[in-house]
């Protein structure tokens, strides 16, 4: 009996925790007008800096020397020195910038202006608006292809992904997705575009070559009402085999097999999980949980939550600095 | 040497009794598993969200009640041992045991230790099945929990021993169920965290906070997550000493209940 119990115990033991490498996760706190900096080694908040009003989208320049912050209610994109927390200058952004994406040239920002139904292209060096492109109503999600040739804006009310030719700044395609698209990402090889739909409760996958729909990801969590399952931010794993999709008020991150579009696992997080960022070694994923005001750290190899770290009120965006 | 011989004999007898009663093992496992797989599934959303030590992130209800169900195994097993002592008394085998030329405390300690070892085996089997359905703890936690489960088993065994010195007939065991097991289990942190209890009634939360079973559960819970809980360990040790002393008093032929009852 004792031997049996010991054998059962041995088979039941989970794996050894993954190694951790130091880096920082920068999280915008929508209601506090701050960014919190989390040390990926100690998993603690080490710094908090003030920002403009209602900071949401956040990203680093390629050399990690500048942090771009969408200060939505200040109607500007702020540029912060991450070493000092000092705001270096503001960039013209159009009204109510919510999300943006930095082009592979490390120079042009594509910004979704929610209230104006436009996408603004800003040159971060000359600090000038290069173009403003009319898109659907309430644009939000922004993505850019790895080769920098295609930019995507998703519009919440029009329920479309708008395909922008970055050379001409003209729309060349519009594809319907389910209700209230929130976030878009290209796969690393640039062959697919994934778009999440918050109210529709799905993620639609498109072929980039012909903008045709390849499939849809559906979600279902035991004990959670379907209307609470609202896919928002997502990230692909480094090997491209899995996608981690934040499900908003369902308080879970879904793990999706990118080949079959099937969900393989659900990971419990804090309340209203929104966006996420990888740790430098990509062994951990940090999710922002708006309502519970914390960031859940996920062990990617084991697909389990490790810790939830209190940050400011309503954490929204996240970006990594090694 | 003879002390060790007696210790081994009592351990052996308990092991034989346990292995002889296959139904007891099944019952010991089915009870917490029903709680885990049926009750916890129904209450998944009802717990609410709050991170309390030793947890560092949000957990499902199944994960929350697993240490409590280990405590439940120790509790039922402790009571079952007391039932077996009442049975031994009725059958006359206790007279043989207690007339051994060894101090009574040693015999009773051997009896309680044997019971705690069986609790440990049952908990190991239960945790292995729980892991099989996806309820994992850190693997080191399973090892660190061994002394915690043993200590909880000893304390609840001593409680059973104390009660058995008061119970004269098997039929009275139903009373133990109603007045000891159920209140101890439900008025503890096994099924709901104390902050949740406090929301319902501060008085109930205070009762839970002094219930030694709460501390046994918390000791196991913290050990499973590799965190020390000295307060819980202290409470369990104190309860072990109090129940052990009361059991010794109860089994003392000169002074205890046995003398008064004329057995």
Q: pLDDT band at residue A16, thresholds of 50, 70 and 90?
A: very low
Nearest to B116 by CA among B74, B56, B174: B74
By the 10 Å C-beta count (0-12 exposed, 13-18 middle, 19+ buried), B96 is classed as exposed
Structural domain that includes position B193: 2-261
Total structural domains within chain B: 1
Mean pLDDT of chain B: 85
A12/B59 CB distance under 8 A: no
Q: What is the pLDDT of residues A48-59, one digit of tens each?
A: 999 999 999 999
Q: A300, A18 in Cβ contact below 8 A?
A: yes
Give ipTM to 2 decimals: 0.73
- Displacement of CA A158 from its chain's centroid (Å): 21
The pLDDT-based confidence of A17 (bands split at 50, 70, 90) is very low
* Chain A hits for B49, Cβ within 8 Å: 251, 270-271, 292
- What are B218-254's pLDDT values in tens digits? 999 999 999 999 999 999 999 999 999 998 888 876 6
Task: Say which of A12, A16, A297 has its CB closest to residue B132.
Answer: A12
Q: Which of residues 96-135 of B touch A (CB under 8 A)?
A: 121, 124-125, 127-132
Backbone angle region of B73, left / alpha / beta, with phi > 0 → left and psi within -120 to 50 → alpha: alpha
B33 CB within 8 Å of a chain A CB: no
The answer, yes or no, to whether the previous bond of A198 is cis (omega within 30 of 0) is no
């Amino acid at each position: 009996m004792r031997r049996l119990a010991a054998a059962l115990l041995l088979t039941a033991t989970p794996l050894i925790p993954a190694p951790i490498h130091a880096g920082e996760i920068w999280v915008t706190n929508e209601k506090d007008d701050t960014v919190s900096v989390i040390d990926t080694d100690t998993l603690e908040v080490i710094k908090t800096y003030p920002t403009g009003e209602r900071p949401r989208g956040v990203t680093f320049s390629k050399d990690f020397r500048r942090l771009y912050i969408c200060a939505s209610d200040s109607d500007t994109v702020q540029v912060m020195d991450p070493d000092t927390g000092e705001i270096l200058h503001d960039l013209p952004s159009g009204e109510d910038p919510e999300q943006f994406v930095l082009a592979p040239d490390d120079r042009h920002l594509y910004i979704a202006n929610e209230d104006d139904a436009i996408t603004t292209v800003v040159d971060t060096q000359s600090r000038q608006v290069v173009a403003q492109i009319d898109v659907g109503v309430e644009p939000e999600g922004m993505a850019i292809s790895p080769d920098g040739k295609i930019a995507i804006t998703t519009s919440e009310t029009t329920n479309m992904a708008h395909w922008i030719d970055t050379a001409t700044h003209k729309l060349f395609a519009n594809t319907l997705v389910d209700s209230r698209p929130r976030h878009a990402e290209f796969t690393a090889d640039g062959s697919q575009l994934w778009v999440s739909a918050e109210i529709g409760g799905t993620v639609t996958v498109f072929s980039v070559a012909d903008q045709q729909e390849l499939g849809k990801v559906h979600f279902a969590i035991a004990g959670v009402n379907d209307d609470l399952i609202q896919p928002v931010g997502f990230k692909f794993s480094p090997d491209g085999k899995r996608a981690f999709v934040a499900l908003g008020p369902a308080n879970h991150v879904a793990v999706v097999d990118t080949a079959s579009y099937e969900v393989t696992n659900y990971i419990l997080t804090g309340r209203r999980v929104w966006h996420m960022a990888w740790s430098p070694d990509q062994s951990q994923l940090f999710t922002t949980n708006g309502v519970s005001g914390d960031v859940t750290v996920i062990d990617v190899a084991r697909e389990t939550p490790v810790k939830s770290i209190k940050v400011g009120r309503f954490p929204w965006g996240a970006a990594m600095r090694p | 040497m003879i002390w060790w011989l007696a210790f081994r004999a009592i351990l052996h007898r308990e092991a034989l009794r346990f292995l002889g009663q296959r139904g007891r093992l099944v019952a010991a496992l089915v009870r917490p598993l029903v709680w885990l797989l049926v009750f916890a599934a129904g209450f998944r959303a009802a717990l609410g969200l709050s991170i309390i030590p030793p947890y560092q992130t949000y957990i499902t209800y199944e994960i929350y009640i697993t240490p409590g169900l280990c405590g439940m195994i120790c509790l039922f097993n402790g009571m079952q041992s007391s039932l077996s002592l009442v049975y031994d008394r009725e059958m006359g085998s206790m007279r043989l045991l207690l007339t051994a030329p060894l101090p009574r405390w040693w015999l009773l300690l051997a009896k309680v230790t044997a019971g705690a070892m069986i609790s440990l085996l049952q908990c190991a089997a239960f945790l292995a099945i729980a892991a099989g359905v996806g309820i994992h703890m850190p693997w080191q936690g399973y090892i660190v929990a061994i002394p915690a489960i043993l200590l909880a088993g000893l304390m609840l065994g001593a409680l059973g021993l104390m009660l058995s010195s008061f119970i004269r007939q098997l039929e009275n065991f139903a009373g133990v169920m109603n007045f000891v097991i159920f209140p101890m289990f439900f008025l503890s942190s096994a099924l709901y965290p104390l902050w949740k209890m406090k929301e319902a009634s501060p008085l109930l939360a205070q009762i839970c906070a002094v219930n030694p079973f709460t501390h046994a559960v918390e000791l196991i819970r913290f050990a499973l997550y590799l965190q020390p809980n000295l307060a819980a360990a202290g409470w369990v040790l104190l309860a072990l000493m109090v129940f052990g002393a009361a059991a010794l008093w109860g089994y003392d032929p000169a002074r205890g209940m046995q003398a008064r009852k004329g057995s």
